[in-house]
Amino acid sequence: GGARGAVPFSFPATPLRSGGLGSFRLSSQRPAELWEAAAPPEFDDAANLLAGNPDATTISIDEPSENPKNQYGLLQDSRREEDDELLGTDDSDKTELLAGQKKSAPFWTFEYYQTFFDVDTYQVLDRIKGSVFPIPGKNFVRLYIRSNPDLYGPFWICATLVFAIAISGNLSNFFIHLGKPAYRYVPEFRKVSIAATAIYAYAWLVPLALWGFLMWRNSKVMNIVSYSFLEIVCVYGYSLFIYIPTAILWIIPQKAVRWILVMVALCLSGSVLVMTFWPAVRDDNRRIALATMVTVVLLHALLAIGCLAYFFDAPDLNVLIPTAAAQNGTIVATKTQ
């Protein structure tokens, strides 16, 4: 709405007490941290009150034209504001104030790592849903992650994917080779470690490379949008989720079915990746931007095709027909008996 005209607020130039200031409603989620980091002296009373009762809703001065659902952060980055307009994210829930103040614990304490797991069940499920059903025009990072990247999703989705691929590959090979006389079932446990290496390398090294590349381009061309390393890891982690049902469905020993599944999965998650990273490179040289997008999608496709080729044996079409005939023969034989 119209309340986007809120000026970036800067302490201590503008006193809190004046009524005509314009409005902001402070989030009551983490008021203690909120005040700790950036409170000038005149806010000490409020800070003490809040420290005593952390669940209390804090001061709210409403702008007349503001939609009561909107929450605007102080110190709002005007660049991000503009960019949200361009991306068409009309989400009213912006708590960007807390973005810079979240990870304030030093990195050798346990609390620092707890900030990366600050998600609830419904948030994880929403992010998974957002990675599988891309909404055109909406940016996954802005819409779902919103300055709260988590490591829970990437880590456990990768773990699940590793075992899904290993187990599905094992099962599919078992069914394909079932009729053959010389075949003896082996659990193929070695492949688990290979799958784990491949998938975790993809989920962590590719974001690292991409982040490094984007930082480098950012130093040359001023981009509107820039992502932190954890946000990129988050996007990649959640975009791998689509491969889990794909891997399970790859048990079906039909080449056409498998390739259709690859295409569908690639379209869905690839489009999430493209829509996320396009705004970060579009201001750059056209060719470089396009090359980056193509590389991102290509690596994603390579992972899928590589897993398909290595873990899933090709279904032998000319073996299926004799085994079908053999089955018919045995059925006839048993019937006559």
Torsion sign (Cα): 85, 86, 90, 95: negative
Site for other proteins contains 191 (CB under 8 A): yes
Site for other proteins contains 175 (CB under 8 A): no
Within the chain, strands assigned E span: 24-25, 60-61
Q: Count the site residues for other proteins by CB under 8 A.
A: 25
How many CB atoms lie under 10 A from the CB of residue 177?
A: 15
Site for other proteins contains 159 (CB under 8 A): yes
Phi and psi for 324 in degrees, rounded to 5?
Answer: -65, -40
- Per CB under 8 A, the list member of 13, 17, 120, 181 interacting with other proteins is 120
In angstroms, give the least distance from the CB of 244 to other proteins.
12
- Residue 105 or 317: which CB sits closer to other proteins? 105
Look-up: residue for tokens 């800067």? Answer: 10
How long a stretch of residues is the chain?
337
Site for other proteins contains 313 (CB under 8 A): no
Site for other proteins contains 133 (CB under 8 A): no
Site for other proteins contains 186 (CB under 8 A): yes
Cα gap 270→145, rounded to integer Å: 18
- Residue 25 or 127: which CB sits closer to other proteins? 127
Query: Which among 7-15, 79-87, 108-116, 244-252 is the span making contact with other proteins, rule CB under 8 A?
Result: 108-116
Query: Which among 49-57, 93-101, 117-125, 322-330 is the span making contact with other proteins, rule CB under 8 A?
Result: 117-125
Instruction: Give CA angle at 20 (16, 21), nearest 5°.
Output: 45
Site for other proteins contains 334 (CB under 8 A): no
Give me Rg for the CA atoms of the chain.
26
